[in-house]
Amino acid sequence: MGVAAEMFGRYRLDAVLGRGGMGEVYRAFDTEKGRHVAVKRLRRDLAADRVFQRLFRNESERTARLAEPHVIPIHDYGEINGQLFLEMRLVDGVDLGTHLTRRGALPPRSAVTVISQVASALDAAHAVGMAHRDVKPSNILVSGLVTGVPFAYLVDFGIAHLAPEAGGTVATTRGALLGTLAYMAPERFEHVRNADGRPVDHARADIYALACVTYECLTARKPFSGEPIALMWAHLNSPPPRPSAVLPGLSTALDAVVARGMAKQPAQRHPSAGAFAAALRDAVGDETDPRTGPPTGPVGTAPRPTTRPMSGPRAGGGTAPPAPPQPRRLSRRALLAGASGLVAVAGAGTLAARLVGPGTSGGTVRWSAPTGGQVLARPSAAGTAVFGASNDGALYAFGAADGSLRWRFATQAAVGSAPEVLGGVVYLGSDDGHLYAIETTTGIQRWATRLGGIVHSPRAAGGVVYVGCADAKVYALDVIGGTVRWSAVGGNDMHQVVLAGDTVLVGGSDTYLYALNGVTGERRWRFATKGAVSGASAVAGSTVLTGSTDGHLYALSLTDGTPRWQVDGVGSAAVPVVLGDTVFVAAAGNALVALDLATGAPRWRFETTGTVQTPAVAGETVYAGCADNKLYALDVADGSQRWSVTVGGPVFAATAANGAVYAGAGDNRLYAVST
C-alpha cells in the first residue's frame, strides 16, 4: 500500500519539489479550493522568531503585489501549526540550474529570451523598492526550453534574505552556499556600505548577478569557481570572463554586455535590468547557435519584452566593455571573516533597496498625457505601465516610459479612487457603485460587482480584494469572480482600506478607525477620533498612523488600538507616509512635516504657497504635489528642497516608481517627472 500524503492544514502535500536552507517546496492540493498549487513550508524554528515573522509577512505581501508575469504569483501566506508557508502557482517547468546541468548551455537566442524575462521581473521589483538578492539559476523556473519558446519565472522574491536579517542563522549546505557566492556582486562582501561609505545598491547587485547567470546560460559554466575565499577574491579582483572564450563562435558583442553587467563598480553597470537585457538583444542580433550552425527552419522566441532602460543612453551590445576598475583589495583576514559569515553577508543591507534614479536631472518632465478629467487619487505603477483613475469616469493605462495610451476603460460615473494592481489585474472602485476587475494588458473587464454605494480605493492580497463603500460597509471579495466573501457594517461611509497582515484597517465618516479580521470581517477594535477618518492609514511595524478631519494625526497600537501619541495641526484629510523612523504628512498652513515615528516629535517643516497633497517617498527623497501647481522633491533627512517643477495646474497625490514621480494635475493631465 502507498504511504498516505501528509496533510498540512487545508493542503495535501503530494510530493517534494525541492529543498533549501529555509524549508521545502511541495506539489500540493488545496482541499478547500480544489486546485493544485505549490506550497513552500519554512523550517519550524523560523516561526518562533517574531521579528522574522513580521518581515516574512511584509515581504510576502509586497511580493504578492508585484503585477509582473515573470514573478510567480503568491496566492496566500501565513502560519499553519507553527510553520510559516507560502502558497504559489504550480508551474510545470524545471529550474534553470538543473536544465543547464543536464542539457548544457542554451542557444544564444533562448538565453537572451530567458534573461530578458527575468530582467522584466527584476525591474518590476526594483520599481517598488524591492531587490531579490539571490538571483541564480536555481531560482529561475523555465518551461518551453525544448520547444524553443521559453517562459521564465523568477522565484523566492522577498524571503531569501530574511532569516539573517532577523538575527537567526540559516542552515545550508556547502554546495548551496557556493551556489549563492557564484553570483554575488563585489560590493556585497563589504556588507551594508560600499568602500566610499554609500549604502550598497542591491538593485545594481541584482544586475551583477543577472550578468553572471547570463554567462552561465551561454557557456554552462559559472563565471568563477573555487573555494569560498577564491570566489570572493575573483568577484573583487578578476576581470569578467568572456563567453566567447568558451564558445569561440559567440559574438564578442555579448562579451561586452556581460562585462559591463559584471563591472566591479555598481555605477558602471547598466542602469536597470531592462537596459542590460536590451543590450543583450542588440548584441545577439541574428546570432545563431555556434554549436549547431544556422537553423534550418523558423526559430520560435517569446515576444520581445517591452522593458526599457530607466536612464542614460541605451547600451548597445557592440560597444567596448568599460575600462577595468581598480580592484577592491581586501586583506586575507577580511576575506576569511567574510567567508565565515557568508550567510549573513548574503542578506546584509536593508529590506528595500534604493532605486538608482535616471541620468537626467531631477525635476524634468518626461511626459504628460491627457486624461479627460482630473486624476485626484494616487496613480499606480506596475511593470511597464502606469494607471490613473480620472473623475471623467475612466481608468487610463499609459506606457511608463513614454506616456503612450495603451487603453481606456470607462465606468458609468466619476472615479475618485486609486487603482490597485495585483497579478495582472487592476481593481477599481467607481462612484457608479461597482468594483471592477480589469486586465492590465488589454483593459478588458474580467468582472464587475455591484455594491451599495460609492466604492472607494480597494486593496488586494491573498486572493481577496477589500474595499470600503458609502453604504457604511467594508467588503471582502474573491479576486477570481468578484463574489463577496464577507461584509462588515460600520457607522457611516467607509473609506480607504489598508492591509496589515491579516488585519484590515478602514476609516469611517462616523469618526472611527476600524480594525477588522481579514478572514472573517469580525471587529478587532475601533478607535474614536473627533472627525471623519476619510484618508488611508499607514502601518509601520506595530504602529498604525491615521489622520482625521479633526486636524490630528494619531499613532495607535496595531494590536489593540491603544493610543501612543497624537499631534495636531495636520491637514483635514491627511494621509501619512512612513520611511524608516520618520512619518511624512501634509500639515495645515500649506506645509509638509516630518515627525519622529516613536514620539511624534517634529523633525522638520517645509512650507509652500498651496495645500500639500499626499506625499510619496523613494530612496532619500520625499515628493509632494501642491495646489501651487508644483511638485516638490525634498531631502528626507532635513526637508531641504532638491528641486521643484511647475505644471499646468494643482498637483494631486503622487506615486514614485520607475525612476519617476507620477501625479495627476488640475489641467487634466497625468505627469511623469524624473526623480
Name the more confident of 596 and 17. 596
Q: What is the DSSP string of 15-41?
A: EEEEEETTEEEEEEEETTTTEEEEEEE
pLDDT tens readout for residues 427-437:
999 989 999 99
**What single-letter DSSP state applies at residue 370?**
E
Determine phi and psi for 282, rounding to 5 degrees.
-65, -40
Determine phi and psi for 112, rounding to 5 degrees.
-70, -35
Q: What pLDDT band is residue 159 in, cutting at 50, 70 and 90? A: low
| Amino acid 178: pLDDT | 37
Name the more confident of 234 and 304. 234
Rounded average pLDDT over 575-594: 90
| Amino acid 328: pLDDT | 45
Strands 420-422 and 405-410: what pairing?
unpaired
Cell of 519: 478572514
Cell of 283: 548584441
| Amino acid 198: pLDDT | 57
- Between CA 19 and CA 90 the distance in angstroms is 16
Rounded average pLDDT over 456-477: 93
| Amino acid 2: pLDDT | 42
Q: Which of 575, 568, 574 is nearest to 552 (CA)?
A: 568
| CA torsion angle 226 227 228 233 (round to 10) | -50
- Between CA 173 and CA 138 the distance in angstroms is 14
| Amino acid 313: pLDDT | 27
pLDDT tens readout for residues 492-512:
788 889 999 889 999 988 889
pLDDT tens readout for residues 301-326:
222 223 322 223 223 333 333 444 44
Catalytic residue among 76, 95, 123, 134: 134
Q: What pLDDT band is residue 181 in, cutting at 50, 70 and 90? A: confident
| Amino acid 280: pLDDT | 95
Neighbour-count burial of 168, counting CB atoms closer than 10 A to its CB (0-12 exposed, 13-18 middle, 19+ buried): middle
Q: Which of 346, 97, 335, 333 is nearest to 234 (CA)?
A: 335
Determine phi and psi for 283, rounding to 5 degrees.
-70, -35
Cell of 247: 564558445
Contact 280, 297 (CB under 8 A): no
Q: Is the pLDDT of residue 663 over 50?
A: yes
> Of the given ranges (250-254, 360-364, 642-646), which has the lowest mean pLDDT?
360-364
| Amino acid 187: pLDDT | 85
Rounded average pLDDT over 265-284: 93
Q: Is the pTM of this model over 0.75?
A: no
| Amino acid 166: pLDDT | 34
Domain ranges of the chain: 6-88, 94-287+317-346, 365-674
Contact 417, 455 (CB under 8 A): yes
Neighbour-count burial of 178, counting CB atoms closer than 10 A to its CB (0-12 exposed, 13-18 middle, 19+ buried): middle
Cα angle for residues 459, 465, 471 (degrees, 5° grid): 85
- Catalytic residue check, 14: no
400: left (phi over 0), alpha (psi -120 to 50) or beta: alpha
Q: Is the pLDDT of residue 592 over 70?
A: yes
pLDDT tens readout for residues 378-393:
999 988 999 999 988 9
Q: Is the pLDDT of residue 353 over 70?
A: no
Name the more confident of 75 and 655. 655
CATH 3.40.630.30: does it fit domain 6-88?
no
Cell 530578458 locates to 116
| Amino acid 573: pLDDT | 60
- Between CA 671 and CA 606 the distance in angstroms is 23
Laid out side by side, the sheet with 445-450 consists of 420-422, 425-429, 434-439, 445-450
pLDDT tens readout for residues 601-649:
999 999 998 889 999 998 889 999 998 999 999 999 999 999 999 999 9
Q: What pLDDT band is residue 347 in, cutting at 50, 70 and 90? A: very low
CATH 1.10.510.10: does it fit domain 94-287+317-346?
yes
Cα angle for residues 45, 50, 54 (degrees, 5° grid): 115
pLDDT tens readout for residues 118-150:
999 998 888 877 888 889 998 899 987 665 678
Q: What pLDDT band is residue 286 in, cutting at 50, 70 and 90? A: low
pLDDT tens readout for residues 394-415:
999 999 999 999 999 999 988 8
Q: Which residue stretches of 306-408 are H helix?
A: 332-340, 342-346
Q: What is the mean pLDDT of the chain?
A: 81
Strands 543-547 and 425-429: what pairing?
unpaired
- Between CA 550 and CA 115 the distance in angstroms is 52
Superfamily of domain 365-674: YVTN repeat-like/Quinoprotein amine dehydrogenase (2.130.10.10)
Residue 2 neighbours by CB under 8 Å, 6+ apart: none
Q: How many CB atoms lie within 10 A of CB 198?
A: 12
- Between CA 609 and CA 590 the distance in angstroms is 6
* For the chain, percent of residues with pLDDT exceeding 70: 82
Q: Is the pLDDT of residue 257 over 60?
A: yes
Q: Which of 417, 420, 418, 400 is nearest to 675 (CA)?
A: 400
Q: Which of 379, 305, 279 is nearest to 123 (CA)?
A: 305
Cα angle for residues 182, 185, 191 (degrees, 5° grid): 110
Q: Is the pLDDT of residue 356 over 60?
A: no
